[in-house]
Amino acid sequence: MQNSRRNVPNILITGTPGVGKSTLCKKLSELTGLRWLEISTIAKENGCITEYDPVYQCSVLDEDKLMDGMEEAMCNGGNIVDYHGCDFFPKRWFDIIFVLRTNNTALYDRLTQRGYVGKKLEDNIDCEIFQVILEEAKESYDHDIVHELKNDTYDELNENVQKICVWLEQWVSQGM
Ligand SMILES: Nc1ncnc2c1ncn2[C@@H]1O[C@H](COP(=O)(O)OP(=O)(O)O)[C@@H](O)[C@H]1O
């Protein structure tokens, strides 16, 4: 089984900005004790930003430097990685991948509340409509470890956290 040597798994939580990754990761981390690695913050704190993309209004990552810095923690396991992309991480790092999904109306409201306007808002809504991150995950990892989770409401958020906790318990017990 892939990565079975780790005692605790690594989980990737991905999806379009605004689908609720950070909210879910924070809760999951508090409940499980797994380490929440928010890639945007880690990249900023460790000088892994090469430039700012004025078209997409976002930071461009120095992926190699970031990966090198994360390697040891990821090999040890016990991490929840949170990022709105997934194709550049080493495949061997993850035991499971959850792609959060949100309907357009809810996502539009969340992103406008965050201050997104114009092209940035439209591009992120399009990203969700065309399920870009889900396709990216399926292209980058084995299909059987990629799971889509609907995350429109707080009830669904709680259900998703529970589902991941159940998976985690099963994963750990299988290795005993
Ligand atoms: N399941 C949910 N139902 C309703 N609102 C949510 C849900 N998850 C997150 N939110 C809200 O949506 C916004 C974006 O959530 P956030 O976790 O920052 O998304 P991301 O990390 O994917 O960009 C926040 O205001 C958050 O409170």
Q: Which of 99, 109, 110 to mutate to test the pocket of ligand 1 (most atoms within 8 A of CB)?
A: 110
Model pLDDT, residue 2: 52
- For ligand 1, the distance from its centroid to the CA atom of residue 21, given in whole angstroms, is 7
pLDDT surpassing 50 at residue 1: no
What ipTM was estimated for this complex?
A: 0.99
58 lines ligand 1 (CB under 6 A): no
Write the residue with the smallest CA distance to atom 7 of ligand 1.
20
110 among annotated binding-site residues? no
- For ligand 1, the distance from its centroid to the CA atom of residue 106, given in whole angstroms, is 10
Q: What is the pLDDT of residues 87-101, one digit of tens each?
A: 999 999 999 999 999
Q: Is the pTM of this model over 0.90?
A: yes
pLDDT surpassing 70 at residue 4: no
User: Three-class SS of residue 97?
Assistant: strand
Cα-to-chain-centroid distance, residue 72: 19
- For ligand 1, the distance from its centroid to the CA atom of residue 60, given in whole angstroms, is 23
Model pLDDT, residue 56: 73
Matching CATH number, 9-167, of 3.40.640.10, 3.40.1160.10, 3.40.50.300, 3.40.50.10420: 3.40.50.300
Q: What is the pLDDT of residues 125-138, one digit of tens each?
A: 999 999 999 999 99
Mean pLDDT of 29-43: 97
Q: Is 92 exposed, middle or buried (0-12, 13-18, 19+ CB in 10 A)?
A: exposed
User: Three-class SS of residue 114?
Assistant: coil
So where are the chain's domains? 9-167
Model pLDDT, residue 25: 98
pLDDT surpassing 50 at residue 144: yes
CA–CA separation, 109 vs 50, rounded Å?
30
CA–CA separation, 65 vs 127, rounded Å?
26
